[in-house]
Amino acid sequence: MGNEVTTGGQYLLDLKVEREVEVDGIGMGVLNNGIAYLNARGLARMCGVDHTMILRLGDQWGTEKEQPRVTRIREYLREQDIELGKPYIATEMDGVMHHAYIDSVCMAILEYYAFDAKQGNNATALKNYRLLARNSLQRFIYEKVGYSPDAGIPVAWQQFHDRVTASYHTVPSGYYSVFKEMADLIVELIRGGADVGVHFIPDISVGKAWSQHWQSSGLSTHYGERVRYDHHYPEYFPQSASNPQPAYCYPETSLHEFRRWMREVYIPAKLPKYLSGKVKQGHLPSSFMESASLIFKK
């Protein structure tokens, strides 16, 4: 079926509902690629609002009629390097269009209704936000629907494999990409239990920091200009809605400088803060930082 733009501007992906249940009136499930989600009514119940509020949020997303609440929620997501064309993944279940609100979007919307919304009572949203801040929404949904990602290939490994496959041959000869060069670090993160995937993309953090260093240090004077290449995300990634993503690749003559910077600057000075944030977001187990020193020393 592929990426197909519907008349509503939504993206219909080749994804299916693996399992879906309703617990205490909250509809939730897991897609066949391991992405956990809530449906509109389930998300609304978690936030303590009518489900029409969630539907209107989706209709206004990224339009000229975008309301301040939508803008604020999108800001929450941008802080996690997540930019989405719509707040849900559109897929089909039993012949009916189904909107799956992925866990990172749900947490951003829940955070808004817990702390920013001025109308109504935020007690329900605040209670659920605190609950899920202690136990990630993905883990919560997995437990409720009885889904085990360990039944086959772990989701993080499959998603990393699919990313490598999608972008491996797109970098022009004579250049290197940040994603490919930090593959060994991503492997270490996954081995340590990191939920690397659609919501946790560490090469975005590294790419931004390296780009700033490249510009502030005037490295193009020494090594030549960097160029853009087309970086593709697998079609089930929310980011694939805007494929291909323009990304920088750098002259191979500067590769030793990148590796030195990773070893001496990013890993010891920037990576710990980045990973601590991912622990708080639930994409890393709370015990991860205790063993992360092995990564920092490499």
Residue with structure tokens 């494999």? 161
251 prior amide bond cis, ω within 30: no
- pTM here is 0.51
Angle at 238 between CA 233 and CA 239, to 5 degrees: 45
pLDDT at 208: 93
pLDDT at 4: 34
Contact yes or no for 26/36 (Cβ under 8 A): no
Determine the Cα–Cα distance for residues 82 and 7; give it in Å rounded to an integer. 24
pLDDT at 20: 81
pLDDT at 289: 63
Determine the Cα–Cα distance for residues 57 and 86; give it in Å rounded to an integer. 10
Determine the Cα–Cα distance for residues 138 and 38; give it in Å rounded to an integer. 10
Determine the Cα–Cα distance for residues 284 and 136; give it in Å rounded to an integer. 9
- Phi and psi at 218, nearest 5°, equal 60, 40
Determine the Cα–Cα distance for residues 11 and 4; give it in Å rounded to an integer. 6
Contact yes or no for 233/227 (Cβ under 8 A): no
Q: How many helices (H) and strands (E) does the chain have?
A: 15, 10
Q: Which stretches of the chain score pLDDT less than 50?
A: 1-13
Determine the Cα–Cα distance for residues 41 and 177; give it in Å rounded to an integer. 41
pLDDT at 297: 57
Determine the Cα–Cα distance for residues 143 and 220; give it in Å rounded to an integer. 50
